[in-house]
Amino acid sequence: WVLGAAALLVAALLGAVWIAGNTDPGRVWIEGLTYRLTSGYVKLVGLGGSFPTQLTLDHLELTDRRGVWLTADQLSLRWSPLRWLERRIYVDELQLKRLHMERAPVGDGKGGSATVPHIDVGAFSMDAVELGASLTGTPATVSLWGKLELRSLQDADADVTARRLDGEGEYTLHLKLDPKRMDATLAVHEPAGGPLENLLSLPGLGALSATAAVQGPRNSERVDVVLDAGQLHADVHGSVDLAHQSADLQYSLKAAAMAPRPDVVWTGVALTGNWHGTLTAPTADGRLEVHGLKILTATQIPHLNAELAARDGKLALHGVVEGLEVPGPQPRLLANAPLTIDAS
């Protein structure tokens, strides 16, 4: 009788919520209840549709202790709420006319841990995603669409495409990974002054074009990365063994005169090298050449040559700095003769 009464009570409550969600007064009640239960951090306006599987919402507003950080308009959701019993968020389709994110949310400082549920979004589309200046340097608007299935942090599938609406720029991600294999490709193309420059804190990087591919079993992943940013070209090729934390890679970077940040300027940079073995005992070689480097205008390195070598768990570095100028009352104290650095 006790179990039956409890089950009947739960069924009655669910029925009441279901009935309320399909009437105008009930929807207003759900909006107010959500606002109270979240202490005002989540505000719903214009809840509609067929509750609870096919929902529409005119306006969504998320706030934190600093105020509103995200708003969304004209949201449409088709999902299966009963999948919650399987600890799974199953969404058939999610559509959004406009999403505005002014800044990143501010945490409450309480910390804590979280687990990732099984999330399956068959298809999603966002007509306009507006990113504020604090996120991208200058405001940017993109359209976003794709699909996503996140079973765990080690098991996921995703196809996501974003395209700028207020300028040039396209970003594409294809991802398929499981505990045994990882296949992913990323392509990024945007002109100078794009959102990624601010996200990377490199406002002077220039036009950006990058492709990255990781393919194969986790103990033998093929890695190919090519990056062009302004006057800079970089590439990485080889293989990675994620299971044993080892790699066999060759890398190179070459850049002409650039000022990627207001406080960092150079007239030329060249870096080449390779890595073989594990993180704890690699066999690696690298060579770096820098010309005309200025940091914060007070530190200047006209010429820098450095060589690095790792063998049998030992690391050796040899470097020569010419014409070094440093902040202080005698900036050219070390500039009259080359400064040699040897470390092991």
Model confidence pLDDT, tens digit, residues 246-270:
999 999 999 999 999 889 999 999 9
Pick from 21, 45, 20, 22: nearest CA to 32: 45
Please report, in tens digits, the pLDDT of each residue of the chain (344 residues total). Answer: 777 777 777 666 666 666 667 788 888 888 888 899 898 999 999 999 888 889 999 999 999 988 999 999 999 999 888 787 778 889 999 999 999 998 888 876 665 555 677 889 999 999 999 998 888 878 889 999 999 999 888 899 999 999 999 888 999 999 999 989 999 999 999 998 888 888 888 888 889 999 999 999 999 999 999 999 999 999 999 999 988 889 999 999 999 999 998 899 999 999 999 999 988 888 999 999 999 999 987 899 999 999 999 988 899 999 999 999 998 899 888 898 999 999 99
pTM of the model as a whole? 0.82
Q: Rounded distance, CA 239 to CA 259, Å?
A: 32
Q: What is the pLDDT of residue 157?
A: 95
**How are beta strands 88-101 and 118-131 bridged, if at all?**
parallel
Q: What is the pLDDT of residue 23?
A: 83
CB 319 within 8 A of CB 308: no
Q: What are the distances in angstroms from CA 163 to CA 136, 137, 211, 226, 275? A: 15, 18, 16, 21, 36
Q: What are the distances in angstroms from CA 41 to CA 33, 62, 321? A: 12, 6, 55
Cβ-in-10-Å burial (0-12, 13-18, 19+) of 176 comes to middle
* The two structure tokens encoding residue 336: 């009259």
Q: What is the pLDDT of residue 115?
A: 67
Q: What is the pLDDT of residue 136?
A: 82
**How are beta strands 258-261 and 246-255 bridged, if at all?**
unpaired
- pLDDT tens by residue, 66-99: 899 999 999 999 988 878 777 888 999 999 999 9
Q: Rounded distance, CA 119 to CA 225, Å?
A: 29
Q: Rounded distance, CA 321 to CA 326, Å?
A: 12
Cα torsion through 147, 151, 154, 155, rounded to 10: -60
Place of tokens 């050796």: 316
Q: Whats the size of the chain, residue-wise?
A: 344
DSSP state of 181: B
Q: What is the DSSP string of 309-343?
A: EEETTEEEEEEEEES-B-SSS-TTTTTSS-EEEEE
CB 121 within 8 A of CB 149: yes
Q: What is the pLDDT of residue 258?
A: 93
* The two structure tokens encoding residue 142: 């993109």
Name the 3-class secondary structure at 264: strand
DSSP state of 117: P
Q: What is the pLDDT of residue 111?
A: 56
Pick from 297, 298, 337: nearest CA to 321: 337
